[in-house]
Amino acid sequence: MNTLTATLPLGAEPEPDPQRDAERTAIIDGLLQRGFPGMMFPVALEREFQQAGLEAKRAHIVKSGFISLLVFNVFLVADYLMLPDVFDLALTLRLLVFTPLALLFLLAFQSGRVRWLSQATPLGLEAIAMVSGLAAAAVLAFILSSSDSPLSYLYHIGFMVVITYGNIVQRMRFWYAVVFSVILIALHVFGVWALPSFPERMMLPLMSMVLASAAFTLTANYALENDERRRFLLTERERGLIRSLTQTQVRLRELSRVDELTGLYNRRHFESAMQQLWQRASFGRTPMAILMIDVDHFKKFNDHYGHPAGDACLRQVCQVMKQTLSGQGVIVARFGGEEFIAAIPGLDEDASLALAEQVRAHVERCQIPHERSATSTVVTASLGLAWCEARPEMKVEHLLALADGALYDAKYQGRNRVCNQST
């Protein structure tokens, strides 16, 4: 059962944690100011960053994979011109071994039908990119080691292409790109050392070109990831500001319809919500009751005990109403001063009258001392109930007027009682 009071509006969701949002914003601002030369965020933020780029990374691996596979096979032209003695081997490795396996993998990855591929983590995607580059380098190294061509030493330039593939085309995260580049440089150095016919005068130039290729592509990789991380932080900060603004707007809307002292809805919100509630009730011709509650001799209570005690008294009376008037669709509001109002749909006249009597009795049972009351030694309340079966031709203002009249009757007849009128 829900009581539609301002403390728990219907459909309300738990409020976000403002302190957590503030701490997160402070971390993001600090990173934007100081930078992140180590290409690493705090653990929680790093996890969000990796997850945020997951889908884009998957799509990029597929697109760049197909293009890179095409380029990989175009290098058969270089194989034919530079290593004619092992061209058949190159043709077999490229077209009959590497390409079918790569196509099978890319198609499975693209379809999402292979579970471990479709649910690959950021680390898994980096591993896929790295392994694909190392596999291409292994094919290149094997072809190179099998050739006796006098131009084979020039084939080492192919390592520059593979480094560019991993660091720029696949855009591995910077530290993975560093590891990838180191492995390829080691393969290149080993190939130079292991090839007995390698011209000594070409060692330094080719090694310099491979090292320069690694340095330049890593620099570009670093800049690309730095920009990506900065965009992520700016986006998250903007989302945080929007979230904070939204929370503020929600809070302001709540405050505009809530009575600050009691936490109940205010009169303006009640009148607006009552119109909607009445339309639904009149359309379905369902019962509707209006209950007006007035704290007896409250001015004398305030004068005698002081305003702080008066505020505390009203809050206690409101708590009674919240606990007692707990029905689906019930709206409880402060109508002004010490006067309150409740709209109670769906109950017959006897049940509505019994509920009003419970409110009166519970207020009296609070035993709040009231020495200046002409009715009792404790705080009491007078209640006016108006009940009807809602009909389209009726006006809700008529029911409100009946409730006001019933409240007047309760006061006139001695207070601390419930009077009712129906139509």
Is 338 known to be catalytic?
yes
Asked if 32 contacts 233 with a C-beta cutoff of 8 angstroms, the reply is yes
For residues 305 and 293, what is the distance between their CA atoms, to the nearest angstrom? Answer: 21
For residues 147 and 143, what is the distance between their CA atoms, to the nearest angstrom? Answer: 7
Task: Report the side by side order of strands in the sheet with 339-345.
Answer: 3-4, 330-336, 339-345, 287-295, 381-389, 418-422
Burial grade of 353 (CB within 10 A; 0-12, 13-18, 19 or more): buried
Burial grade of 373 (CB within 10 A; 0-12, 13-18, 19 or more): buried
Burial grade of 198 (CB within 10 A; 0-12, 13-18, 19 or more): middle
Q: Report the candidate in 399, 389, 407 with the shortest Cα–Cα distance to residue 347.
A: 389
For residues 377 and 48, what is the distance between their CA atoms, to the nearest angstrom? Answer: 63
For residues 385 and 405, what is the distance between their CA atoms, to the nearest angstrom? Answer: 9
Asked if 228 contacts 235 with a C-beta cutoff of 8 angstroms, the reply is no
For residues 407 and 359, what is the distance between their CA atoms, to the nearest angstrom? Answer: 14
Burial pattern 307-340, b for ≥16 Cβ within 10 A else e, equals: eeebeebbeebbebbbebbebebbbbbbbeebbb
Pairing mode, strands 381-389 and 418-422: parallel
Exactly one of 338, 357, 364, 389 is catalytic; which is it? 338
- Which residues are marked as active site? 338
